[in-house]
Amino acid sequence: MKRQAQAVVLMLLGGAVLRTSLTDAYLRYVKEGLRPFLIAAGVALVAIAVATLYYELRERRAAHAHEHPEPKVSWLLLAPVVGLLLVAPGALGAYAADSTGTALGAWEEESDYPPLPDGDPAEIPVLDYASRAIFDEGRSIEGRRVRLTGFISRADDGTVFLTRMILSCCAADARPIKVGIEGAGTDGYADDTWVAVVGTYSPTMVRDPINNERIPFIAAETLEPVGAPVKEYE
């Protein structure tokens, strides 16, 4: 591929990175704090592309006529860039969660839990509820109504989970946090449906068949569909 074409690919790639990072779409792929680095990378790619085109076009000579043309297959490099510009893949959902063990064991060192936020029910993350239910044995949430938001996923035996994916850095290392739902009916809710569950602590616990980590449950009073949040990862 000639240098002019390489510069065009770089510019398109930089534009795709900037388009993603200047909207909320970047939250589907990386943690919120990485946004400035994405913007800087996109600007750098565009700047390099512009500089390359400038110097290449300035130095073009008639001698270029004897150069061999680039192989046409090299233009296929544009396919993923154009795809990212035109179609933004969604965040990971039930399919990824159903094939991956719960990541709760990574937080086992947690021991001190602050009081729940005010309000009835108290709005808390799925990870916070799961950690308190397993490692604090529910002491810091017992007797309080809580509200959790996540998407529906299922085990092979039909157990229904409220699930939220968590990131260490980016979507490549995303892993699920699962909370079993008992009490409220879950019939009619397909996988990947985002729901809000209001309920209380349940001592029920099962083992994830994928990695044998513990999965807590919530005694659900109500379960209602909601729209996917802007930040789909916790």
User: Could you say which DSSP state residue 136 is in?
Assistant: S
Domains, the chain, ordered by start: 3-90 (no CATH), 95-225 (2.40.50)
pTM assigned to the model? 0.72
Whole-number Å distance between alpha carbons of 26 and 39: 10
Whole-number Å distance between alpha carbons of 18 and 21: 5
Average per-residue pLDDT for the chain:
83
Q: Is the pLDDT of residue 67 over 60?
A: no
Whole-number Å distance between alpha carbons of 231 and 234: 7
Whole-number Å distance between alpha carbons of 11 and 26: 18
User: Could you say which DSSP state residue 231 is in?
Assistant: -
* Structure confidence at residue 48 (pLDDT): 86
Q: Which of 33, 38, 35 is nearest to 15 (CA)?
A: 38
User: Could you say which DSSP state residue 169 is in?
Assistant: S
Q: How many CB atoms lie within 10 A of CB 224?
A: 10
Name, in order, each residue with C-beta under 8 angstroms of 111's C-beta and a sequence gap of 6 or more: 135, 136
The pLDDT tens digits for 138-172 are 999 988 999 999 999 998 888 999 999 988 777 77
* pLDDT average, residue stretch 33-52: 87
The band of 42, judged by pLDDT with boundaries at 50, 70 and 90, is confident
Q: Is the pLDDT of residue 73 over 60?
A: no
Tokens of 192: 């990947």
Per the model's pLDDT, the better-predicted residue between 72 and 156 turns out to be 156
Question: How far is CA 118 from each of CA 101, 124, 136, rounded to the nearest angstrom?
Answer: 32, 10, 20
* pLDDT average, residue stretch 16-35: 82
> Residue 199 in contact with residue 232, Cβ under 8 Å?
no
Per the model's pLDDT, the better-predicted residue between 130 and 57 turns out to be 130
* Structure confidence at residue 17 (pLDDT): 85
* pLDDT average, residue stretch 228-233: 88
Q: How many CB atoms lie within 10 A of CB 217?
A: 23
Pairing state between β 175-182 and 160-166: antiparallel
Whole-number Å distance between alpha carbons of 14 and 12: 5
Helix (H, G, I), strand (E, B) or coil at 81: helix
* pLDDT average, residue stretch 25-30: 79
Helix (H, G, I), strand (E, B) or coil at 108: coil
Residues of the chain with pLDDT > 70, as a percent, come to 82
Please work out, in degrees rounded to the nearest 5, the angle formed at the alpha carbon of residue 19 by the alpha carbons of 16 and 21: 105
Tokens of 145: 């109504």
